[in-house]
Chain A
Amino acid sequence: MILTGVLLAVIGLGLVGWFAARGRARLLYSGRGSMHSMPNYHGWHMALWIIVPALIAWTAWSAIMPGLVDGVVMADPAAASLPADAMHRNAIMAEARTLAANPDAAAFNPEARTIAEPLRAATTRYGLIGALIIGIVAFAGGAFGFTRIRPDFRARTHVERAVLGLLLLASLMAILTTFGIVASLLFEAGMFFKDVSPIAFLTGTHWSPGNAIGTDIDDNFGAVPLFWGTIYIGAIIAMVVAIPLGLMSAIFLTQYASHRVRRWVKPILEILAGIPTVVYGYFAALTVAPIIRDFGATLGMANPSTESALAAGLVMGVMIIPFVSSMADDALAAVPRAMSDGSLALGATKSETIKKVLLPAALPGIVAGVMLAISRAIGETMIVVMAAGAAARLSANPFASMTTVTYQIVQMLTGDQEFNSPKTLSAFALGLVLFIVTLVLNIIALRVVKKFREAYD
Chain B
Amino acid sequence: MTNPHWQTDVATRRIERRNAAERRFKLLGLGAIVLSLAFLALLLFIMLKNGLGGLDWDFLSGTDSTSPDVAGVWGATKGSLLTMLVTLLLSFPMGVLAAIYLEEFAPKNRWIDLVEVSINNLAAVPSIIFGLLGLAVFINTLDMPRSSPLVGGLTLALMTMPVIVISGRNAIKAVPPSIRDAALAVGASKVQTVFHHVLPLALPGILTGTIIGMARALGETAPLLMIGMRAFVVTPPGGVTDPSSVLPMQIFLWSDEIDTGFVQNTSAAIIVLLVFLLAMNGIAIYLRNKFEVRW
* Chain A interface residues toward B at CB < 8 A: 156, 160, 163-164, 166-175, 177-178, 180-181, 184-185, 187-188, 244-249, 251-253, 255-256, 265, 267-269, 271-272, 274-283, 285-287, 318, 321, 349-352, 354-355, 372, 375-376, 378-382, 385-386, 406, 409-410, 413-414, 419, 427-428, 431, 434-435, 438-439, 442-443, 446
Contact B222 A410 (CB under 8 A): yes
With A168-B101, A428-B132 already in contact, 18 other A-B pairs whose C-beta atoms are closer than 8 Å: A167-B105, A174-B115, A177-B118, A177-B158, A185-B129, A248-B28, A252-B32, A269-B33, A269-B36, A274-B219, A274-B281, A276-B248, A278-B248, A279-B273, A283-B43, A379-B128, A385-B222, A410-B128
Contact A438 B124 (CB under 8 A): yes
Instruction: Write out the residue numbers on chain A whose beta carbons fall within 8 Å of the beta carbon of B46.
Output: 283, 286-287
* Chain B interface residues toward A at CB < 8 A: 18-19, 21-22, 25-26, 28-33, 35-37, 39-40, 42-43, 46-47, 50, 93-95, 97-98, 100-102, 105-106, 114-115, 118-122, 124-130, 132-133, 135-137, 140, 158, 161-162, 165, 189-191, 215-216, 218-222, 225-226, 228, 230, 248-249, 251-252, 255, 263, 266, 270, 273-274, 277, 281, 285
With beta carbons under 8 angstroms apart, the residue of B18, B94, B124, B133 that contacts A349 is: B18
With beta carbons under 8 angstroms apart, the residue of B106, B128, B162 that contacts A381 is: B128
How many angstroms from the CA of A134 to the CA of B254 in the assembled complex?
A: 49
Residue of A nearest to B132 (CB): A431
A-side interface mostly: helix
Contact B126 A278 (CB under 8 A): no
Contact A278 B251 (CB under 8 A): yes
Contact B39 A318 (CB under 8 A): yes
Contact A431 B252 (CB under 8 A): no
How many angstroms from the CA of A445 to the CA of B190 in the assembled complex?
A: 36
* Distance of A326 from chain B, by nearest CB (Å): 13
Instruction: Write out the residue numbers on chain A whose beta carbons fall within 8 Å of the beta carbon of B221.
Output: 276-278, 381-382
Residue contacts A-B, CB under 8 angstroms, 16 given? A167-B100, A173-B161, A247-B32, A271-B40, A272-B40, A274-B277, A278-B251, A278-B252, A279-B43, A279-B47, A279-B274, A286-B50, A382-B221, A382-B252, A414-B230, A442-B124
Instruction: Write out the residue numbers on chain A whose beta carbons fall within 8 Å of the beta carbon of B133.
Output: 177, 180-181, 184-185
Q: Which 10 A-B pairs give the minimum distances between C-beta atoms?
A: A379-B126, A252-B29, A276-B219, A248-B32, A184-B136, A170-B97, A351-B25, A167-B101, A381-B222, A171-B98
Instruction: Write out the residue numbers on chain A whose beta carbons fall within 8 Å of the beta carbon of B129.
Output: 181, 185, 379, 431, 434-435
How many angstroms from the CA of A245 to the CA of B190 in the assembled complex?
A: 49
Contact A349 B19 (CB under 8 A): yes
Instruction: Write out the residue numbers on chain B whose beta carbons fall within 8 Å of the beta carbon of A163.
Output: 191
* Distance of B24 from chain A, by nearest CB (Å): 8
With beta carbons under 8 angstroms apart, the residue of A249, A375, A381 that contacts B29 is: A249
How many angstroms from the CA of A442 to the CA of B120 in the assembled complex?
A: 9
Contact B266 A282 (CB under 8 A): yes
Residue of B nearest to A442 (CB): B124
* Distance of A360 from chain B, by nearest CB (Å): 16
* Distance of A239 from chain B, by nearest CB (Å): 15
Residue of A nearest to B251 (CB): A278
With beta carbons under 8 angstroms apart, the residue of A164, A178, A184 that contacts B132 is: A184
How many angstroms from the CA of A380 to the CA of B95 in the assembled complex?
A: 25
Contact B32 A244 (CB under 8 A): yes
Instruction: Write out the residue numbers on chain A whose beta carbons fall within 8 Å of the beta carbon of B21.
Output: 349, 351-352
Most A-side CB within 10 Å, residue of B43, B46, B102, B285: B43
With beta carbons under 8 angstroms apart, the residue of B37, B191, B216 that contacts A268 is: B37
How many angstroms from the CA of A318 to the CA of B41 in the assembled complex?
A: 12
Contact A442 B121 (CB under 8 A): yes
Contact A279 B222 (CB under 8 A): no
Contact B127 A381 (CB under 8 A): yes
Instruction: Write out the residue numbers on chain B whose beta carbons fall within 8 Å of the beta carbon of A173.
Output: 94, 98, 161
Contact B252 A272 (CB under 8 A): no
Most B-side CB within 10 Å, residue of A180, A427, A446: A180
How many angstroms from the CA of A292 to the CA of B135 in the assembled complex?
A: 36
Contact B18 A256 (CB under 8 A): no
Contact A184 B137 (CB under 8 A): yes
* Distance of A170 from chain B, by nearest CB (Å): 4
* Distance of A214 from chain B, by nearest CB (Å): 26
How many angstroms from the CA of A386 to the CA of B124 in the assembled complex?
A: 23
Beyond A277-B219, A419-B140, is A282–B128 a contact (Cβ under 8 Å)?
no
Contact A351 B37 (CB under 8 A): no
With beta carbons under 8 angstroms apart, the residue of B106, B126, B162, B190 that contacts A406 is: B126
Instruction: Write out the residue numbers on chain B whose beta carbons fall within 8 Å of the beta carbon of A354.
Output: 25
Instruction: Write out the residue numbers on chain B whose beta carbons fall within 8 Å of the beta carbon of A442.
Output: 120-121, 124
